[in-house]
Amino acid sequence: MINCVNHAYEAPRNDGLPRSAIKKWWMFCRQNLEENTLFIAVCDLGIGIPRSLPIKYPSEIIRRALDFLSPGRRTTDARMIQAAIEIARSRTDRQGRGLGLHNLKRIIDDAKGGRLYIFSNSGLVRYFERTHVRENFRRSILGTVVVWSIPLGATDEQN
């Protein structure tokens, strides 16, 4: 949520939609009682992770992260999202900052059966069972949506 406020609206969108004067974001939660799973989604209508990454980090850091993922391949929105997950530092260089997406990944690693979906502009990265799956689309969603699916522990009703 902090990333929505700090990074989503730091440049014009350049897609025909007006720039919001207010840094809006939305959060949705739902518990699936049948599967005992919690879904949390946070979204914004900002510039997206692929466009904000070069604003936040020097090009050599982004290039290193992209080369680590798969050297020599073209830059896509999905690859930029995954690079943002892997870059665990902040443009402020302050302790405890710049770890948002990396921490989301750690939550999924700790929650057996958890899943993370990060849609941003025309890219998607799905993360589950310590595996990244990237996908790119023809059209942009014009912002970012992050969804966690987290299994909940057994409840008294189930025991």
> Cα dist. 88→72, 106, 123 in Å?
22, 12, 20
- Specify the pTM: 0.82
**pLDDT digits 0-9 by tens, 26-77:** 999 999 999 899 999 999 988 999 998 888 888 888 888 888 887 667 889 9
- The least confident of 34-38, 113-117, 152-156 is 152-156
Cα 73 to Cα 144: distance, rounded to the nearest angstrom: 23
What is the model's pLDDT at position 96? 47
**pLDDT digits 0-9 by tens, 5-21:** 666 777 777 777 766 66
Cα 99 to Cα 109: distance, rounded to the nearest angstrom: 15
What is the model's pLDDT at position 93? 47
Average pLDDT over the chain, rounded to whole? 82
